[in-house]
Structures are given as C-alpha cells and as structure tokens.
C-alpha cells in the first residue's frame, strides 16, 4: 500500500472515530430560582418579608446566598435596614457563605441613606461572616466617608490601612485626593499624589482629571492646562473628560471659539470627541440664548456618527424652560423620544415645572402622568404647585388625582396646598379654614 493511500485510510478512520465518539453533554442553563422571580415584582417591604417566610415553610426549600442577597438588596433600596440587620443575623446563624459584593453594596446603601456609622460597623464585621475584605471593601467605605463629609474618619482609615493588611491602589488614592480637593486643600491633595508616586502606585487619568477639575471650577485655565500637559508628559493619554474640563473653563472665561477649536482638534491628538464635549459647547450656547446654534450641534453629532445622550437633550430643555419657551422644550422632548432616547427623572421634572411656571397646568399633568408611568417621581414642590394650579383652574378631579399619587409616595402636602384644596371644596366657607387647621397638624 502506498504511503499516500495509508495516509488517506488513517484520515478516514480518524474522521469516523470523531463522528462516532459521543459528545460531552452541554451544560444546561442555570435554572431560575422561584423565590427570586417572585421577588422581582414586589414593591411593598412587608410583602417582601412575607414571601420570604412563606418560602421557609415550604418543605425541602432552603434559602441560599442568591435568595438572601436579592432580598437584602431589595430591602436596602427600600431603606428597611431593620429587616436587613435581621437577615444578616440569619446569614451568620445558618453559616451561609457570603460574597464580598453583598457587603460592598450594603455599605454603599447605608452611606446614601445617611447611616454612615452602620456602614463602618458592617465593614468591621465582615470577617465575622467568614468574608474576606479586599480593597474593594476598603474603597467603598472610604468613598462613603468622603461623600458623607466624615473626612477625618476617612483620613484615619486611609493612614492605618497598611497596618490592617491593605495596600492602597489607584482608586484608594483617587478617593482621598478627591476628598482633599473637595475641601479646597490643594496642597494636601498634592501630598497624597506625591505619596502615591513614592509607593509606586501608577496614577490614572482620573487622578489627573480630579486635579484639573479643581482648577477649572475656579476658572483657572493656566493651572488646569499645566496639569493636562503634565499628564501627557507622564505618558497618560487624556480622555474626553480631560478635554471637556478644559473646554468648560474656556467657555466660562468667554472663549467659546477656543473651546470649539480644542474639541475639533481632539482627533488629531488621538482622542475622539464624545457627547460630553458637545454638551459643554451646547450648555454655553443655550446659557447665552443661542438655541439655534445649540440645536445645530445635534446635527453635527449625526454627521460625525456620534450618538447624543439624554444629558444633551436635557441641557436644551432646561434652558428653554428657563426662558419660558416650554412649548419648544416639549418639542425637543418629543424629538428625543422619537429618536429612541429614554427621558430620565430630570427631563420630566424640568418639563412639569416649566409648564407649571407658565400656567399650563393641564399640559403639566400630562407630562406628570408620563413621568409616573415611567416610574419616576416628581419633587414635593412640583406636586404642590400642580395641585394649586389645577384647583385654581377648577380642575378638582385632576387635583385630587395628583394628591392621591402624592400620598401613595408618602409625600405630605404643605399648608398652602391643603388650604387651596379644602377652601375650594368648601366653596371658600369659613369652615374650610377651620378644617385646614385640623388637617395640617395631623399631616405633619
């Protein structure tokens, strides 16, 4: 048999072997957990706990880490921290192995809700849950302390972190630099930066942008540009935010043309302009009432195949409402939704307030309806202003609807709103004023 024929036979046998060899069973997709599925649609904190206990009574069912973490996150978002603490005790009692992400999320929720001491306590308790604390936990608690104005505690923790086995990374240093700069202490921030270099922790673009932002907020272009050049000399490539900060200070100093030139020069420096850069120019134009040129930037974005963002539309809506051009603002809102952009809470709030300030309460109510359907909520002042406006226009049914929506969100009307409602209901009778006096104390 020739060598060629042998090779062909071997190849045929090999192919046959691979065809006949049974394939490894493919991994099945993870089965959905019934409890977590049920949890998704529940909003009432009491009902959430009730479902948790109902599942405990099911024979053979045992809550594990995914169940506990989903429930704890949901309760933390609802600010039901008493229930959260009970569940943490459950985790310890049943020796449920926890991941660090659970505690990082909780630390952040505690911080946002103003329970900073609870966040610190939880950080210290983490080892008792048999959970390793990494730099992610340290950075989370440092950030909570800085954001809450507890700078001395943050500084003490940062200084002593090496003794506790932590080696700060760029994020840790950035948080502390941001903290010092937030207090206006430039020299102290630079000391932290120098320490960062001494420890051979490489600065990031964020490290420089924090410092550049410090000077741009003060209108100091020369100092900001000096840091920008320092960043480049150290081999760090500026990003779109770096340029946006410099553009912002140029605009604030009345140098719009220079800011625009800087943006169009960005591609030649190896950095593609982003919506944030166009937003700086748009903000300056809209602030000066030059709306046509501001709108033209949206067309410029399309030409360059850059997708705008909600913030850019909000800039236009904001300044149009301030100039009492709420109908034009609404047109931008419609254009925004037609183009596939989801309005955020700020978009709705500006429009509702704009219509109310313009005395167009029916239109304001329509936007409020869309806002509530999108699961966003208006401010207390907006609700009250809308109710009073509707009452004064003899739209009592609509005013009562707004009141009900307000109450659902546990928001209590102020005295003026109660007075408008009751006085209108009682046809401006003296008894209406007496009723107001009784209602207001009970609502406080």
| CA pair distance 45, 75, nearest whole angstrom | 7
62 pLDDT band, cuts 50/70/90, is low
Q: Report the percentage of the chain scoring pLDDT > 70.
A: 81
What is the tens place of the pLDDT at every residue in 373-388?
998 988 888 988 998 8
Lowest mean pLDDT among 88-92, 412-416, 427-431: 427-431
393 pLDDT band, cuts 50/70/90, is confident
16 pLDDT band, cuts 50/70/90, is very low
Q: Report the percentage of the chain scoring pLDDT > 90.
A: 56
Predicted pLDDT at 419? 72
106 pLDDT band, cuts 50/70/90, is very high
pLDDT (average), residues 135-140: 95
Q: Is residue 19 pLDDT above 50, yes or no?
A: no
Q: Is residue 5 pLDDT above 70, yes or no?
A: no
Q: Is residue 432 pLDDT above 50, yes or no?
A: no
Q: Is residue 4 pLDDT above 50, yes or no?
A: no
Q: Model-level pTM greater than 0.85?
A: no
41 pLDDT band, cuts 50/70/90, is low
Q: Is residue 129 within 8 Å of 91, Cβ to Cβ?
A: yes
312 pLDDT band, cuts 50/70/90, is very high
Predicted pLDDT at 56? 54
Q: Is residue 198 pLDDT above 80, yes or no?
A: yes
CB atoms within 10 A of CB 208: 25
Higher pLDDT, 165 or 369: 369
pLDDT (average), residues 169-193: 95
12 pLDDT band, cuts 50/70/90, is very low
Predicted pLDDT at 7? 38
Concatenate the DSSP letters of all residues of 352-365 into one string.
Answer: HHHHHHTT-HHHHH
Give the residue among 11, 25, 28, 102 at the shortest CA–CA distance from 65. 102
Q: Is residue 105 pLDDT above 50, yes or no?
A: yes
Residues 241-244: contacts with CB under 8 Å, at least 24 apart? 241/205, 241/209, 241/276, 242/205, 242/208, 242/209, 242/212, 242/271, 243/271, 243/273, 243/277, 244/274, 244/276, 244/277, 244/279, 244/280
* Mean pLDDT across the chain: 83
pLDDT (average), residues 143-151: 94
Predicted pLDDT at 80? 85
Higher pLDDT, 417 or 124: 124
Predicted pLDDT at 42? 53
**Structure tokens, 398:** 């609509």
pLDDT (average), residues 51-57: 56
Q: Is residue 439 pLDDT above 60, yes or no?
A: no
Helix, strand, coil percentages in the chain from 3-state DSSP, rounded to 5: 70, 0, 30
pLDDT (average), residues 49-72: 64
Higher pLDDT, 5 or 134: 134
Q: Is residue 436 pLDDT above 70, yes or no?
A: no
Predicted pLDDT at 205? 96
pLDDT (average), residues 83-99: 85
Q: Is residue 66 within 8 Å of 33, Cβ to Cβ?
A: yes
């Amino acid at each position: 048999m020739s060598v060629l024929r042998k090779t062909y036979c071997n190849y045929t046998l090999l192919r046959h072997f691979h065809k006949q060899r049974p394939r490894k069973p493919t991994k099945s997709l993870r089965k959905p957990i019934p409890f977590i599925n049920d949890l998704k649609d529940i909003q009432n904190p009491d009902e959430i706990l009730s479902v948790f206990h109902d599942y405990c009574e099911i024979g053979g069912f045992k809550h594990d880490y995914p169940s506990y973490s989903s429930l704890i996150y949901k309760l933390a978002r609802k600010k039901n921290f008493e229930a959260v603490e009970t569940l943490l005790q459950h985790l310890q009692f049943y020796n449920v192995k926890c991941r660090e992400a659970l505690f990082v999320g909780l630390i952040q929720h505690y911080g946002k809700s103003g329970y900073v001491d609870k966040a610190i306590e939880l950080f210290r308790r983490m080892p008792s849950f048999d959970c390793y604390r990494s730099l992610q936990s340290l950075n989370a608690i440092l950030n909570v302390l800085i954001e809450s104005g507890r700078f001395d505690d943050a500084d003490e923790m940062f200084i002593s972190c090496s003794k506790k086995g932590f080696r700060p990374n760029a994020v840790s240093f950035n948080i502390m630099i941001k903290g010092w700069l937030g207090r206006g202490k430039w020299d102290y921030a630079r000391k932290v930066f120098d320490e960062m270099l001494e420890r051979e922790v490489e600065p990031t673009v964020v490290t420089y942008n924090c410092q550049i932002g410090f000077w741009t907020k003060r209108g100091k272009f020369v100092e900001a540009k000096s840091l920008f050049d320092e960043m480049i000399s150290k081999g760090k490539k500026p990003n779109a935010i770096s340029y946006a900060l410099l553009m912002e200070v140029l605009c604030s100093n009345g140098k719009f043309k220079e800011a625009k030139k800087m943006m169009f020069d960005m591609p030649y420096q190896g950095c593609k302009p982003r919506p944030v850069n166009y937003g700086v120019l748009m903000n300056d134009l809209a602030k000066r009432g030059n709306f046509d040129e501001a709108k033209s930037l949206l067309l410029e974005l399309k030409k360059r195949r850059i997708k705008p963002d909600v913030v850019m539309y909000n800039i236009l809506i904001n300044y149009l409402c301030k100039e009492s051009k709420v109908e034009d603002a609404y047109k931008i809102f419609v254009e925004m939704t037609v183009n596939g952009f989801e309005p955020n809470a700020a978009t709705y709030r500006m429009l509702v307030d704009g219509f109310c300030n313009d005395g167009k309460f029916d239109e304001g109510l329509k936007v409020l309806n869309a806002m509530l359907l999108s699961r966003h909520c208006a401010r207390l002042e907006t609700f009250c202003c809308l109710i009073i406006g509707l009452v004064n226009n003899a739209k009592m049914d609509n005013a009562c609807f707004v009141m009900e929506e307000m109450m659902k969100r546990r928001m209590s009307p102020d005295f003026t709103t109660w007075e408008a409602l009751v006085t209108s209901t009682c046809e401006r009778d003296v008894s209406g004023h007496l009723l107001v006096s009784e209602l207001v104390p009970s609502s406080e």
